[in-house]
Amino acid sequence: MAQWEDIATDLRARIAAREWAPGQQLPPMRALADRYKSASHAPVNRAVLALIGEGVLITDPNAPRRGVRVRSQQVIVHDLIGHSPATGAPGERTFEQAFQVEGELDVRTSYAWQDASTRVAQQLQIDPGTPILIRTFVYMINNTPHQLARAHMTADLAREIGLTDESVEVPGRNTAAWLGTAGIKVSREHLEISVRTPTQEEREILLVPPAVAVIQRDSVTYSETTPVEYWLTTVVADQVRYTIDFIPDRMDQTCL
């Protein structure tokens, strides 16, 4: 067995034993080379690259100073009915509370005021070019990207319910709660789920390992028959598990 393979095997075992916690940075290459008595960094580099390919380690090419970190492989269980804005009253449950996140969560939020693309216009049943607000959320669990979510709403409605800039965002405040401030009641949600290979942008943002797909969720929230918000969410496929319970006396509600 080549030296790099021995190094990869040992690193894999040490990570499994949680010598380094999820999200924690590995020692510098020089320190690892010294530990493994390697005459050069090449075997260590190759071992690290192999573990990145497996999804065990992660590195951000846009932030090289952050170094190589242990990739968090925490699987979030997502109840498709229970976590829908169309079921239950407007709430203030944070992401951590709703999905029982273990460890550190960071949500990076940005706003963009743009004209609606053809795709977004179709989802919201508006004319292409209509001014809209796009809210972008990147969820990081233990320094590992988990999902990229973009919420689309007409600019007029966004301003009416108080979505003016990133500073107004409240952790856990859902769509139903925001719309409720303007007396708009969420009545249903249409959801579509698909699995595909990530785009280049998604690879760069979510740091998706080479062999891992992404799951795309397209959801449109309605007030009566009027679409009020369109979400496009991309989740790294090995970090989520979807569940659903069909309850007989709610079938007429959940199968709309």
Which of 114, 121, 17 has its CA nearest to residue 70?
Answer: 17
Question: How far is Cα 106 from Cα 144, in angstroms, rounded to an integer?
Answer: 9
What is the pLDDT at residue 170?
Answer: 87
3-70 to CATH, choices 1.10.3720.10, 3.40.50.300, 1.10.10.10, 3.40.462.20: 1.10.10.10
Residue 231 has pLDDT above 90, yes or no: yes
Q: Rounded to the nearest 10 degrees, what angle do helices 3-16 and 42-54 cross at? A: 50
Give yes or no for a contact between 189 and 220, defined as CB atoms under 8 angstroms apart: yes
R_g of the chain computed on alpha carbons: 21
Global pTM reads: 0.85
Under DSSP, the state recorded for 166 is G
CATH placement of domain 76-243: 3.40.1410.10
What is the pLDDT at residue 255?
Answer: 45
Task: Extract the tokens encoding 63.
Answer: 């932030």
3-state secondary structure of 144: strand
Q: Confidence band (pLDDT; 50, 70, 90) for 256?
A: very low
Q: Confidence band (pLDDT; 50, 70, 90) for 119?
A: very high
Residue 249 has pLDDT above 90, yes or no: no
Q: pLDDT digit string (tens) for 121-180? A: 999 999 999 999 999 999 999 989 999 999 999 999 999 999 999 999 988 888 888 998
Give residue for tokens 């790294």.
236
Question: How far is Cα 55 from Cα 220, in angstroms, rounded to an integer?
Answer: 32
Q: pLDDT digit string (tens) for 179-203? A: 988 899 999 999 999 999 999 999 9
Give yes or no for a contact between 172 and 95, defined as CB atoms under 8 angstroms apart: yes
Which of 96, 2, 92, 98 has its CA nearest to residue 43?
Answer: 2
Residues 197-217 have a mean pLDDT of 93
* Domain locations along the chain: 3-70, 76-243
